[in-house]
Copies of this chain bind each other. A is one copy, B any other.
Amino acid sequence: MKIGIIGTGGIATNAHIPHYIAAGADVVAVMNRTRERGEAVARQFGIERVYDTVADMLANEQLDAVSVCTPNALHKDHVIQALDAGCHVLCEKPPAISEREADEMLQAAKRAGRTLNYGFHFRHRTDTQLLKRLIDSNELGHIYAATALALRRRGIPGWGVFTDKELQGGGALLDIGVHMLDLALYLMDYPKPVDVVGHVGQYLGTRPGVGLMGDWDADNFSVEDTARAMVTFENGASLFLDASFMANIGPKDTMNVELRGTAGGASLFPLTIHTEEHGALFDKTPAHLTLQDPYATQIRSFLEACRHEPSYEQAEQAVLLHQIIDRIYSQG
């Protein structure tokens, strides 16, 4: 299979290219606005051709699939161009920066009859997949309460465009909250949202402080450092979302999804299951669980999808996801 790479940041070079190669796919072209960067990456991985526009790459190559790894605000255009050119697309998260964009991308996929997947790598973790199997076997029963946590103490990246609202589209919610929100919804089978109350704010990001991921630019900090929301769903369930780039919280950062169902409950990282059986309460933990690289699994899973009928499931979920996010941002 012939693969093209759009965008060559760290996520492309760490999480996409090497895993395509390991999976036996042919990465034949790479595109970067700055040709030097593109050429460096091409040299590193032995990729033959380099382009500095998406249009050129798509026009000159007969690609089966592309990975889109550009800044969030560019996802929509690059994805649609690629779909229109007949490629299957794996687009990094977040899918887009608004529900409207996500919807346009979905329509493009359907129009093109191509699969559009998103890079929510937490879905592909071994522990997540195990929990998913448990849920599909009804071990939790009806899941009626969820909590999605993405809390860092001082975790604003000091590099990249993470604090630039324009390119990034958002902060703690769109960069890390989105992972846990998608993960919870995925495990709950993406129920339809009813009410959303939410709140985003800048509390610590606009003043200087201890930076654990490098120093950030407090003067040009234009995104939210904190986002909190509650969502209720048509199926009677509810979800809390709590995300922060910076917060005065306990000694360890938290990325987690907690679920409570009528038959059992689960906490995902690390995975523990809580049930009632044989007239007693039990806690259950996986043993000897070997965590595999979720990026490798994600790429293999995308390549597999490319070989079958196109799937619009993830593209449809992205529309719901961005609907919730839009409603949170709209409440400020």
Please report A residues at the B interface, Cβ cutoff 8 Å: 130, 133-134, 137, 140, 142, 144-145, 147, 153-154, 195-197, 199, 201, 203-204, 209-210, 212, 226, 228-230, 232, 236, 238, 240, 242, 244, 247-251, 258, 260-265, 267, 272-276, 278-290, 331
Contacts and interface: CB of A to CB of B under 8 A. Distances in A.
Given A230-B197, A230-B229, A137 B242 contact: no
A278 B197 contact: no
Contacts of A144: 201, 203, 226
A228 B240 contact: yes
A281 B196 CA distance: 34
Given A210-B279, A249-B274, 20 more contacts: A130-B278, A133-B279, A140-B248, A144-B201, A144-B203, A195-B331, A199-B238, A209-B276, A210-B288, A212-B288, A228-B238, A229-B230, A230-B230, A249-B265, A250-B265, A250-B267, A250-B283, A274-B287, A283-B286, A283-B287
A260 B282 CA distance: 19
Contacts of A240: 228, 230, 240, 242
Given A197-B232, A203-B144, A248-B264, A289 B284 contact: no
Given A199-B238, A260-B248, A287 B282 contact: yes
Chain A binding site: helix, strand, loop or mixed by DSSP? Answer: strand
Contacts of A201: 144, 236
Nearest to A209: B276
A226 B212 CA distance: 38
Closest 3 CB pairs of A and B: A248-B265, A230-B230, A197-B197
A272 to B, nearest CB: 6
B228 A248 contact: no
Contacts of A134: 278
B226 A153 contact: no
A93 B171 CA distance: 41
A285 B258 CA distance: 19
A284 B281 contact: no
A290 B158 CA distance: 15
Contacts of A275: 248
